[in-house]
Amino acid sequence: MAEVSSKPIPLLKDELDIVIPTIRNLEFLEMWRPFLQPYHLIIVQDGDPSKVIKVPEGFDYELYNRNDINRILGPKASCISFKDSACRCFGYLVSKKKYIYTIDDDCFVAKDPSGRDINALEQHIKNLLTPSTPHFFNTLYDPYREGADFVRGYPFSLREGVPTAVSHGLWLNIPDYDAPTQLVKPRERNTRYVDAVLTIPKGTLFPMCGMNLAFDRELIGPAMYFGLMGDGQPIGRYDDMWAGWCVKVISDHLDLGVKTGLPYIWHSKASNPFVNLKKEYKGIFWQEEIIPFFQKATLSKDATTVQKSYVELSLQVKEKLGPIDPYFVKLADAMVTWIEAWDELNTASEAKHANGVAA
Amino acid sequence: MAEVSSKPIPLLKDELDIVIPTIRNLEFLEMWRPFLQPYHLIIVQDGDPSKVIKVPEGFDYELYNRNDINRILGPKASCISFKDSACRCFGYLVSKKKYIYTIDDDCFVAKDPSGRDINALEQHIKNLLTPSTPHFFNTLYDPYREGADFVRGYPFSLREGVPTAVSHGLWLNIPDYDAPTQLVKPRERNTRYVDAVLTIPKGTLFPMCGMNLAFDRELIGPAMYFGLMGDGQPIGRYDDMWAGWCVKVISDHLDLGVKTGLPYIWHSKASNPFVNLKKEYKGIFWQEEIIPFFQKATLSKDATTVQKSYVELSLQVKEKLGPIDPYFVKLADAMVTWIEAWDELNTASEAKHANGVAA
C-alpha cells in the first residue's frame, strides 16, 4: 500500500553533487538534513590538512584536503587556491555528476513569508530544468513558473528559451556586501523576500555569489573556475565574481541562460569587514578595469565548447589585463591549467577518476 | 497645532499629470480618490465625441475629445489614433508637467501581502526619483530602495546610476497576456506579488504595457508616441509595445534608465480574446521582424536629444520595416508628425499652450 509521506522527494538524487568548502566541522548540515541527506556531498577541506572535519552521521560524502588535491592534480594543483573558499572548484573538477549545488557552511535553511522552510535545492533544480530567456525581458519574470507566462508583446519565436546553465540563489539576513558597504551599514539585514526568478539578459554582467549556487556541470562546468585567491595571492573575495564574469560571457556566447533570484538561504554571520577590506582592496580598483574588459569581450566562432571558449578568454585576460598587474598573467596561466586538469579528470573513461576519502 | 493625519502626502503634486484614455464614465476613480484626487487629470476621450464622460466630483481635470484633438492639432491630428487607447499619448503632448502617470480605467487599487492598499503613484514617483542601473545587474534588485544596496562585486564607478526615465508598473489579477495565451489559459490570474523594482539592463528590450506606467516627460516624453492603431489601421494592442521599443532604444542611447516591477494595480477585467486576436494577429507575426530591428538599431552621435533620436529612428523604420508592409511607411511619417506636434505645443513660450475643456 502506498504511504502518504511529507518527506520532500529528492529530485535528481543520482545526478547532483553538493560541494562544500570548509575549515570546520559541518554541524550546519543538521538543519539541512531533510533536504540534503539524500544527496552525495563533496567536501573540500581548506587550510591545515591534518585537522579532522566532522560530518554529521548519515551523510554520504567524499572529502578532499590539500594533500589529496596535490596528490590528484600533481603540478596542476597550483591552479587550486589555498586558504580561500575558492578551493571549492576542486569539487566541481572531481564530480562525475551532471549538476552541482554549492553552499557555504554558514548558510542555513531560510523561511518563506508563510513560515515554511525553504527547500533551496529543489528550487535550484526547478530553475535549472526550465529554460532561460536571455534575449528579451519578461516583465512577469520567469515565464516557466506556475501561474506565470510570457506577457503580451513577447515574440513567439523566443518562447522556447535556451538551456539554463546557472541558478544563482540569494540570501536573507546578512546581505553579500563588500567591505566598504559592510563598514558603512553594519546593521543592514536583508529582510525582503522577493518571490521571483529571472534570467539575466544577454550582454549583461552580474556579481555572482558562490554562497548558494547551482549549475549544470555538463553545460558550463569548465568555466566555473574560482581563480587564484587567498594564500600567496594579492586578492581574496573575488573568486566567485571572477567565475561569474567568465561564466556569463561564455554563456552568452554559447546561448546558455543564467537565472537569479529564488531560492533564499539564511546567511547567518557577517564576515569581518576589516579582514575583508584587506582581501578586497585590490579587487575594488581592479574591477573598474576588469568589468569593462568582460563587457567588451567577444569570442570567436571557433570557440564552440566551454573549454575552447575558456582558453580563448584566458588569452584575452593575459593580453588585456596583464598590463594592469602580473597577477593577471599568472591567473591567465592558471585558467589554462584548470582546463587541462578538467580534461584530464573528465575523459570518457572512468579509469582516471580520482578518488578521495570516501565515507 | 499640527494635526496627525493618515492621509498620504501627495508627492510632486504640481509637477505630475495623470493621463487617462477612456470611452466611459470614470467611476473607477472613486477607489483611487485617496491617492489621486490631489493631482491634475488629463482625460483623453476616445470614440464618439458627443458622448458625455462623467468624472467623479472633486477631481481637477481637463478633457479632450476627438473634436478637441482635431482643433488643436489641425492636420497633424492624423498622428493620434482613433478608437484605440493609443490616443492617450495626446495627453502627454498637451501636458505641461515634468512627470506623467497613465492608467487604464479598468485598473483598481491593489493590496500588498499585508492587506494594505497600494499607493501606486507614490511608488512610481519613488522609482522615477531614484537612479537606474542599466550597466550592471544588481542581484538584490533596486539598490536605492530602503534596506537594499549594491552587492559585493558591483563596480563603484557605476553606483551613481543614471537618471530614470520610465517606471513600468505591473498588474495583479488579470495578467497582460496576448490573445493566444488568453485563449489557452483563460483562467490564469496573476496572484504573485513580487516585492521588487529593477532596472532593465542596457541593450535589452521589454514589452512595455501602458496600463500602469509613469515617466519623466522632460527626459523621454517625445519618444512616448503610441503609434497608429485602431480605426483605419491594420493593427491594435501594439501601441504601448511600439512606444516601449522606441523608448528603450532611445533611453539606452541617451543613457537613461527604465525600471519595472512595483507598483501593482488590480487589473479587473480581461478583454475579449477573440476581439484581441483580430487586433493583434498582424502584430504577432510582424513583431518577429520588428524586434530584431529594434535590437540592432543604433543611433548616431548627432542624436543628442529625444526628438533628434526619434526622427532618426523613424527614418530607419521607414527604410527597414517599410518593405514588410506599407503600414510602416505611414507609421514612420506619423512619428515625424508627432515630433512636429510635440515641438509646436512644447515651445518655451506658454502662448501656444492649447486649452481643452477645463473642469
Buried b / exposed e along B18-44 (16+ C-beta atoms within 10 A): bbbbbeeebebbeebeebbebbbbbbb
CA nearest A188 in B: which residue?
B147
C-alpha closest to that of B114 among B193, B189, B169, B54: B193
Contacts of B172 in chain A (CB under 8 A): none
Confidence band, pLDDT 50/70/90 cuts, at residue B353: very low
For Cα atoms B150, B154, B158, give the angle at the middle one, nearest 5 degrees: 90
- Answer for the pair B137, A204: CB distance below 8 angstroms, yes or no: yes
Give the strand pairing for B60-64 and B197-199: unpaired
B302 touches chain A (CB under 8 A): no
Question: What does the pLDDT read at residue B6?
Answer: 60
Task: Please say if the pLDDT value at position B333 is more than 90.
Answer: yes
CB contact under 8 A, A260 and B288: no
Q: What are phi and psi of A108, to 5 degrees?
A: -120, 175
The residue that leads in pLDDT, A133 or B1, is A133
C-alpha distances (whole Å) from A96 to each of A55, A64, A352, B348 are 21, 15, 11, 69
Cell of B229: 492603431
Cell of A200: 539575466
Amino acid present at A133: T
Contacts of B149 in chain A (CB under 8 A): 175, 177, 181, 185, 188
Contacts of B176 in chain A (CB under 8 A): 139, 151-152
C-alpha distances (whole Å) from A170 to each of A130, A184, A265, B106, B284 are 19, 21, 7, 36, 36
B61 touches chain A (CB under 8 A): no
Question: What does the pLDDT read at residue B9?
Answer: 82
- In words, the CATH class of domain B16-283 is alpha beta
User: In B, residues 239-298, which contact A (CB 8 Å cutoff)?
Assistant: 240-241, 244, 260, 280, 284, 287-288, 291
Task: Please say if the pLDDT value at position A358 is more than 80.
Answer: no
Buried b / exposed e along B193-225 (16+ C-beta atoms within 10 A): bbbbbbbbbbebbbbbbbbbbbbbbebbbbbbb
Confidence band, pLDDT 50/70/90 cuts, at residue A270: confident
Question: What does the pLDDT read at residue B5?
Answer: 53
Task: Please say if the pLDDT value at position A282 is more than 60.
Answer: yes
- Answer for the pair A45, A63: CB distance below 8 angstroms, yes or no: yes
Of A192, A200, A241, the CB nearest to B195: A192
pLDDT digits (tens, 9 = 90+) for A113-126: 999 999 999 999 99
Q: Rounded mean pLDDT of A300-306?
A: 98
Beta bridge partners of A20: A43
B195 touches chain A (CB under 8 A): yes
Cell of B154: 558591483
Task: Please say if the pLDDT value at position B193 is more than 70.
Answer: yes
pLDDT digits (tens, 9 = 90+) for A27-52: 999 999 999 999 999 999 999 999 99
Q: Rounded mean pLDDT of B339-347?
A: 95
Q: Rounded mean pLDDT of A305-321?
A: 98
Reduce the DSSP state of residue A23 to 3 states and report it. Answer: coil
In the block, cell 489579477 appears at B173
Question: What does the pLDDT read at residue B161?
Answer: 98
Reduce the DSSP state of residue A72 to 3 states and report it. Answer: helix
CB contact under 8 A, A288 and B155: yes
Task: Please say if the pLDDT value at position A349 is more than 60.
Answer: no
- Answer for the pair B245, B226: CB distance below 8 angstroms, yes or no: no
Q: What is the DSSP letter of A18?
A: E
For Cα atoms B143, B149, B150, give the angle at the middle one, nearest 5 degrees: 85
CA distance A96 to chain B (A): 30
Question: What does the pLDDT read at residue B355?
Answer: 47
CB contact under 8 A, B181 and A288: no
Task: Please say if the pLDDT value at position B320 is more than 80.
Answer: yes
Q: Give pTM, 2 decimals.
A: 0.94
CA distance B32 to chain A (A): 24
Contacts of A146 in chain B (CB under 8 A): none
CB contact under 8 A, B207 and A157: no
Confidence band, pLDDT 50/70/90 cuts, at residue A10: confident
pLDDT digits (tens, 9 = 90+) for B21-67: 999 999 999 999 999 999 999 999 999 999 999 999 999 999 999 99
Mutate to test the interface with B, among A137, A199, A202, A258 (most CBs of B within 10 A): A137
B137 touches chain A (CB under 8 A): yes
Question: What does the pLDDT read at residue B158?
Answer: 97
Q: Rounded mean pLDDT of B288-316?
A: 98
- Answer for the pair B219, B253: CB distance below 8 angstroms, yes or no: no
What whole-number percentage of chain A has pLDDT above 70? 95
Give start and end residues of each alpha helix (H) in A74-214. 89-94, 120-129, 179-184
Alpha carbons A321 and B263: distance in angstroms, whole number: 42
What whole-number percentage of chain A has pLDDT above 90? 93
Question: What does the pLDDT read at residue A154?
Answer: 98
In the block, cell 563588500 appears at A178
- What's the number of CA atoms in the CB half-sphere (13 Å) around residue B134? 23
- Answer for the pair B219, B230: CB distance below 8 angstroms, yes or no: no
C-alpha distances (whole Å) from B93 to each of A169, A218, A294 are 44, 54, 42
Confidence band, pLDDT 50/70/90 cuts, at residue A9: confident
CB contact under 8 A, B178 and A153: yes
A146 touches chain B (CB under 8 A): no
Q: Rounded mean pLDDT of B337-352?
A: 80
CA nearest A134 in B: which residue?
B204
Beta bridge partners of A96: none
Q: Is the ipTM of this complex over 0.90?
A: yes
Amino acid present at A318: K
Question: What does the pLDDT read at residue A295?
Answer: 98
Task: Please say if the pLDDT value at position A112 is more than 50.
Answer: yes
Contacts of A153 in chain B (CB under 8 A): 178, 207-209, 238, 240-241, 244, 287
CB contact under 8 A, B206 and A291: no
Alpha carbons A182 and A188: distance in angstroms, whole number: 8
A322 touches chain B (CB under 8 A): no
Using CA of residue A49, residue A50, residue A53, residue A57, what is the dihedral sign? positive
List the domain boundaries for chain B: 16-283
pLDDT digits (tens, 9 = 90+) for A205-229: 999 999 999 999 999 999 999 999 9
Task: Please say if the pLDDT value at position A134 is more than 50.
Answer: yes
Task: Please say if the pLDDT value at position B356 is more than 50.
Answer: no
Alpha carbons B267 and B317: distance in angstroms, whole number: 33
Of A152, A175, A284, the CB nearest to B140: A175
Question: What does the pLDDT read at residue A352?
Answer: 41
Cell of B253: 542611447
Whole-angstrom Cα Rg for chain B: 20
CA nearest B187 in A: which residue?
A147
Confidence band, pLDDT 50/70/90 cuts, at residue A305: very high
Q: Rounded mean pLDDT of A334-353?
A: 81
C-alpha A4, offset from chain centre: 35
Task: Please say if the pLDDT value at position A354 is more than 70.
Answer: no
Q: What is the DSSP letter of A151?
A: P
CA distance A229 to chain B (A): 15
